[in-house]
Chains A and B, each alone.
Chain A
Amino acid sequence: MSNLLDVKGLNVTFPTVDGEVRASVDLNFELNRGETLAIVGESGSGKSVSSLAIMGLHNRAQTLISGEVILHGSKGSTELISASEETVRGLRGKEMAMIFQDPMSSLHPYYSIGAQISEAWAIHNDGSKRDGMKRAIQMLDLVEIPSAAKRAHEFPHQFSGGMRQRAMIAMALVNNPSLLIADEPTTALDVTVQAQVLQLLQNMQKEFNMGVILITHDLGVVAEFADRVNVMYAGKIVETAGVEDLYYRSMHPYTIGLLRSIPRVDQIDNHRLDAIKGAPPSLINLPIACSFAPRCEYSSLVPGGLCNQSQPELEQKEAEHFARCFLPAERIAEVRS
């Protein structure tokens, strides 16, 4: 596996009249070809914002971005934050592609599915309209849309939800990108369709040997699909680990809380689900302390009220397993069980 994406110290900040909203703080991660990295967190934790920043799709006039994002594409490496808009635009849709949460609103209502896919192809390739349409039909076929040649001329509103997301995937993959960012790709879909779409994504990933960043708040999807997981809270990565390590040996109280809040089929007793008490903090002028401390059940276990006085660093708890918590690994293991 070769390195595809390096994110180093990525900060995304929105200046507002009330102060700076630090939507994503000092983000560090990397992604290999053929690997799936899940980014998990609740709404407002900075997962979507940082992926939009990687794609250069943020609103440039209202966003401050610092740090480095290096994409090792098929034609050499590019640092995306300092690159010109024109350079990034040339990579968007070609080297890196993105699919979004709601395929209905993400597809243009006035153009046929085929026209939209062929446009994505035509931007980065020389060829006639006919070639583009041919390619579009080929892609629709690939994402298992029945009678693709006919349906390519139909409009998004004539497609079902699952079909639309398949069409979005076809559009994203039309130029054979090395990086695919999937921003909650199944959230707006029926549960029965979710599995199909995920399966399709997985097949496509194998076929194209892509690196996939999967943004989701569905831990079930993560377990199914991801190789590694970044858990985000209040703009920071609070835990990062391989998917099994994360599920079986969570090292951050937030992750533990998240996992406990999932209903399980193997526990039939009728008790209420465990919720994480409280609400995530406002991202304006965050105090220098652990952002999760006010909601943390275990902050009292840390001596001297340290959680409310200084910020924990992302420290190594096990091999390939990092968490942003003052509690030593052994203590967390005790708490967890």
Chain B
Amino acid sequence: MRRIVQSFEESKGMAMLKYVSRRIAISIIILVLISATVFIIFNYLPFDPARLSCGKHCTPEIIAGNRHRLGLDVNWWVQWWRFLEGIFAGRNYGEGAALIHCGAPAFGYSFTQHECVTTLLGQALPVTVSLAIGAFIMWLVLGVTLGVISARFRNTWIDRLSTVFVLVGTSLPTFISGLLLLLFIVLKFNLISPLDLGTWHSPLTDPWGWFSSYFWPWLSLALIYAATYTRFTRSNVIETSSEDFIRTARAKGVSERKVLWKHTLRPALAPILTIAGLDFAGLLGGAIITEQIFQLPGLGRLTLQAVLQDYDLPIIVATTTLAAAFVVIANLVVDLAYALLDPRIRIS
């Protein structure tokens, strides 16, 4: 009998492992498909990077040479295959004396900035990650706290006050709230010197500099998200508190405080985790507007520059694929975390 029980437990573990590995496999397939899609789209766009990088005195020979150098003289699937290959094996651009090597993982070579894209990403990523993490923590703390409070005191003045915050927060787009913060607080009170905007302070060597240079961008991003999360938390908490199992908890004699913290919040916040994970991943792809306003050289700005200035295909392909990868990975992480949180989906 015990052996049967044991093997049942084991098969449950196996089922979980199978589930996880299947999810990872699916995620990889999705990523490959996304990168292919990106290549197809860019292949059919009415731009010719070879022409654009040609300069004033352009001849068909130079264009053809550029095209070969940029690796654009082959079909999109060959380009795509080389791109995938480069990620794992590194890649060489040009020939002879002009040969440039980008080590793995190589995402391409930007001929406008004369840098391997991986190097550019390496510079931009810490900025974007700093921005995303801080904003994420800020909006989650602010939104969930306000949401729980306004659910607890619903239909009182506290709730109404938070509704006002929600309305203001959601209706102010970041390019307004960010600019307002920058002009009327940051620059007016000289909290960050205009010359210092966008300077990178490493959180490891200069944590205070890092914090103070990111605080206002965090705030301007967090406001809009926090407003949505307040509303979402509030309605989830209210909905959960009318569940039968909450009535059961009260019937057992559980105190109101524990009813809220132990019985209501866990199921009420579980769905918020899903959305939070995806929102965070979205931000990791680059917060274009906020980065632009606060002059932060992150992924969003890198992408924007690549699009606006030179149609820098390798950068655009890399940042787009990276942003998609973040979302796919976040999806996976959120699903696995959800399984830990909710026993009902542990075995599926």
Contacts and interface: CB of A to CB of B under 8 A. Distances in A.
Interface of A: 55, 57, 89-94, 97-98, 100, 102, 105-110, 112, 119-120, 123-124, 150, 155, 157, 168, 171-172
A325 B5 CA distance: 62
DSSP majority for the B interface? Answer: helix
A110 B253 contact: no
Interface stretch (B94-102, B193-201, B244-252, B313-321): B244-252
The 10 closest A-B pairs by CB, nearest first: A93-B253, A105-B244, A93-B252, A92-B253, A120-B252, A108-B245, A155-B343, A106-B244, A98-B251, A106-B248
B267 A109 contact: yes
B18 interface: no
A89 B247 contact: no
Nearest to B266: A110
Contact of B342 (A106, A110, A172): A110
Contacts of A100: 244, 247-248, 251
A157 B245 contact: no
Contacts, number: 67
Contact of B248 (A107, A110, A112): A107
A106 B247 contact: yes
B255 A106 contact: no
Nearest to B267: A110
A176 to B, nearest CB: 14
Nearest to A92: B253
A172 B248 CA distance: 9
Interface string B250-272: 11111100000001001100000
A123 B253 contact: yes
A108 B263 contact: yes
Contacts of B263: 108
Contacts of A92: 250-253
Nearest to B249: A108
B3 interface: no
B139 to A, nearest CB: 25
Greatest chain A CB density within 10 A among B253, B266, B267 is at B253
A172 B247 CA distance: 13
Interface of B: 5, 243-245, 247-255, 263, 266-267, 341-344
A322 to B, nearest CB: 30
A147 to B, nearest CB: 9
A157 B249 contact: no
A59 to B, nearest CB: 9
A105 B255 contact: no
B251 A89 contact: no
Contacts of B341: 110
A131 B5 CA distance: 25
Contacts of A57: 247, 250-251
Contact of A105 (B243, B251, B343, B344): B243
A133 B245 CA distance: 20
A119 B252 contact: yes
Contacts of A157: 343-344
Nearest to A174: B252
A24 B211 CA distance: 61
A89 B256 CA distance: 9
B311 to A, nearest CB: 51
A172 B267 CA distance: 23
A107 B243 CA distance: 10
B197 to A, nearest CB: 46
Given A150-B5, A155-B344, A106 B252 contact: no
Contacts of B249: 108
Contacts of B254: 93, 119, 123
A171 B245 contact: no
Given A124-B253, A171-B252, A110 B343 contact: yes
B344 A93 contact: no
A172 B253 CA distance: 11
A325 B236 CA distance: 48
A104 B342 CA distance: 15
Greatest chain A CB density within 10 A among B244, B247, B248, B344 is at B248
Given A109-B267, A150-B5, A157-B343, A90 B253 contact: yes
Contacts of B5: 150
26 contacts: A89-B255, A90-B253, A91-B253, A93-B251, A93-B253, A93-B254, A97-B251, A97-B252, A98-B251, A100-B248, A100-B251, A102-B244, A105-B245, A106-B244, A107-B245, A108-B245, A108-B263, A109-B343, A110-B266, A110-B267, A110-B342, A112-B343, A155-B344, A157-B344, A171-B252, A172-B251
